[in-house]
Chains A and B, each alone.
Chain A
Amino acid sequence: MIRVELPAHLRTLASVNGEVMLEIEGRATQRSVLDALEARFPMLKGAIRDHVTQVRRPFLRFFACQEDLSHESPDAPLPVEVATGKEPFLIIGAIAGG
């Protein structure tokens, strides 16, 4: 089970409280986690990564295990602590704007 923590506005958009728990088939990567997240919450399509290019939106970052994974390959395996549910995969909105 993968734990995903969404920024507040996306929790509201998806009507969820707290962390999202996802079952992932196969290897846990950014792509497989986001695919599963968007399959369960279709309203999040386009809100985290581009509809077509699947590139992360520029004001969002991906953190886990106190590391910035934003610039890792979307197909790179996530840390074992994320894959085993020990640590959450964090989707963070930039602290910017008014």
Chain B
Amino acid sequence: MSRVRVLVGTRKGAFTLTSDGKREKWDVSGPFLGGWEIYHLKGSPVDPNRLYASQSSGWFGQQIQRSNDGGKTWEPVGNKFLYDGVPGTHQWYDGTPHPWEFKRVWHLEPSLNDPDTVYAGVEDAAMFRTTDGGQNWQELSGLRGHGSGPHWAPGAGGMCLHTILIDPKRPDRMFIAISAAGAFRTDDGGKTWRPINQGLRSEHIPDPTAEVGHCVHRIAMHPSRPGVLFMQKHWDVMRSDDAGDSWREVSGNLPSDFGFPIDVHAHEPETVYVVPIKSDSEHYPPEGKLRVYRSRTGGNEWEALTKGLPQSDCYVNVLRDAMAVDSLDSCGVYFGTTGGQVYASANAGDSWTPIVRDLPAVVSVEVQTLP
């Protein structure tokens, strides 16, 4: 019988939550790497026991940890993230030039076919790659070097490269997203990149339809249909049917088109999940009701999923990397909150139960479906 392992990164360590395919009873393990911020951890698709974790601290900087036993034990690997050449400047919050400075790794995306190859999205925004299991990291500097870097600016969380999607049908094609620069695509394995933000509209920047400068919070795809992308932008939920060449808004009837995560059902490429959040800056659920919204039509028509979720006095946030789906039948959906809850639905969102309620603030959630 299949099993699932949920990988949870929090402000104070990593946790693993495991269950059988029924997803009713859970074992909670951790904290691992206790006391450190774990922005993200993720397993290799070809070796599920090979996990990578981004561990960071304001005192001691960045570490990368690797596990070869599904998260039971960890070993530090390479933590040297050096920008290629002269880093140059990006825009600071006030529009003045600010030097590029490495701060932390936000997202780790293991290769689809090699457990030793991993891509890292970092703050200040850049992409790195290791091909030796995390010992050494090299920047894919074509991203920063393509020309628009001096116009990128940080969002409230920093100028982070937070999303990396690898096209399973064309491994040299990848999509990334940066707050606040926008989405970019490479078709040659990361050597060259181009912004893919046509159709985005952001009223808080001088030119609302600029080529770069958009605060993209997250993008998602279904692996069977990698040319279709869904985006949760700072405001607006967007959709592209041409691999990002153009976007159209599909916010429809959402109570707020602001939010952070977005994900796609494992077996239904037109079923999409978001968590609407109130903004400016409040960043908690509208009306104190924690609701996941699901569209079965690829956007525009959304239904609130509330069963099992708090529907009063709830003021947590759900961060951009804190939602994931498993590939069981029926599809499991998971998300973590800044209040330390990890909620699971074993029926595609129809009902929810908390796996745990009192972890440190959850930063990231990933799920592995295991044989």
Interface set of A (CB-CB < 8 Å, partner B): 7, 9-10, 13, 43, 45-48, 51-52, 57, 59-60, 93-94, 97
Q: How far is the CA of A33 from the CA of B363 in the complex (A)?
A: 37
Is the beta-carbon distance between A9 and B76 smaller than 8 angstroms?
no
User: Contacts A9-B35, A9-B36 given: A51-B59 contact, CB under 8 Å?
Assistant: no
Residue of B nearest to A93 (CB): B59
Is the beta-carbon distance between A60 and B61 smaller than 8 angstroms?
no
Is the beta-carbon distance between B59 and A59 smaller than 8 angstroms?
yes
Q: How far is the CA of A69 from the CA of B256 in the complex (A)?
A: 54
Interface set of B (CB-CB < 8 Å, partner A): 35-36, 57-63, 76, 79-80, 82
User: Contacts A51-B82, A52-B82 given: A13-B76 contact, CB under 8 Å?
Assistant: yes
Q: How far is the CA of A94 from the CA of B79 in the complex (A)?
A: 22
A-B pairs with CB below 8 Å: how many?
39
Q: Which of B36, B57, B80 contacts A51 (CB 8 A)?
A: B80
Is the beta-carbon distance between B59 and A46 smaller than 8 angstroms?
no
CB-CB under 8 A from A57, the residues of chain B are 59-61
User: Contacts A9-B36, A43-B76 given: A60-B82 contact, CB under 8 Å?
Assistant: no
CB-CB under 8 A from B63, the residues of chain A are 13, 43, 47
Interchain Cβ contacts under 8 Å between A and B, 28 examples: A9-B36, A9-B57, A9-B59, A10-B60, A13-B60, A13-B63, A13-B76, A43-B63, A43-B76, A45-B80, A46-B61, A46-B80, A47-B60, A47-B63, A47-B79, A48-B60, A51-B80, A51-B82, A52-B82, A57-B59, A59-B58, A59-B59, A60-B59, A93-B59, A93-B60, A94-B59, A97-B58, A97-B59
Q: Name the distance in Å between A90's Cβ and chain B's nearest Cβ.
A: 15
Q: How far is the CA of A80 from the CA of B58 in the complex (A)?
A: 32
CB-CB under 8 A from A93, the residues of chain B are 59-60
Residue of A nearest to B55 (CB): A13
CB-CB under 8 A from B62, the residues of chain A are 46
Residue of A nearest to B135 (CB): A42
Is the beta-carbon distance between A46 and B35 smaller than 8 angstroms?
no
Q: How far is the CA of A46 from the CA of B36 in the complex (A)?
A: 15
CB-CB under 8 A from A48, the residues of chain B are 60
Residue of B nearest to A47 (CB): B60
Given contacts A13-B63, A47-B63, 11 further A-B contacts (CB under 8 A): A9-B59, A13-B60, A13-B76, A43-B63, A43-B79, A45-B79, A48-B60, A51-B82, A59-B59, A60-B60, A97-B59
Is the beta-carbon distance between B61 and A47 smaller than 8 angstroms?
yes
Q: Name the distance in Å between B74's Cβ and chain A's nearest Cβ.
A: 10
Residue of B nearest to A52 (CB): B82
Q: How far is the CA of A60 from the CA of B61 in the complex (A)?
A: 11
CB-CB under 8 A from A94, the residues of chain B are 59
CB-CB under 8 A from B76, the residues of chain A are 13, 43
Is the beta-carbon distance between A46 and B82 smaller than 8 angstroms?
no
Q: Name the distance in Å between B304's Cβ and chain A's nearest Cβ.
A: 34
Q: How far is the CA of A57 from the CA of B35 in the complex (A)?
A: 18
CB-CB under 8 A from B59, the residues of chain A are 7, 9, 57, 59-60, 93-94, 97
Q: Which of A7, A46, A52, A59 contacts B79 (CB 8 A)?
A: A46
Q: Name the distance in Å between A40's Cβ and chain B's nearest Cβ.
A: 14
Q: Name the distance in Å between B41's Cβ and chain A's nearest Cβ.
A: 16
